[in-house]
Amino acid sequence: MIISTYKIMISQSGNILTVVGVATICAIMHFGFAHQRASLVKKHLIIIDEIEKERS
């Protein structure tokens, strides 16, 4: 998704500011998705820990 957005923006305009803007947006999206994934993993680990405590 991010790469296709980047390719579309490059093909429509060769302006360096457009390239920088698209790269910035892609980086923000990438870090946002990575943060969201890490948050979900943390929540799942907490739930697993609580279940193990109840079993003990």
Predicted local confidence at residue 2, as pLDDT: 62
30, 10 contact by CB (below 8 A)? no
Can you tell me the distance from the alpha carbon of 5 to that of 1, in angstroms, rounded to the nearest whole number?
A: 6
Predicted local confidence at residue 26, as pLDDT: 86
The rounded Cα 22 to chain-centroid distance in angstroms is 15
Length of the chain measured in residues: 56
Predicted local confidence at residue 10, as pLDDT: 66
Predicted local confidence at residue 1, as pLDDT: 59
Can you tell me the distance from the alpha carbon of 24 to that of 19, in angstroms, rounded to the nearest whole number?
A: 9
Residue-wise pLDDT tens digits, 9-52: 666 666 777 778 888 888 998 898 888 989 999 999 999 999 99
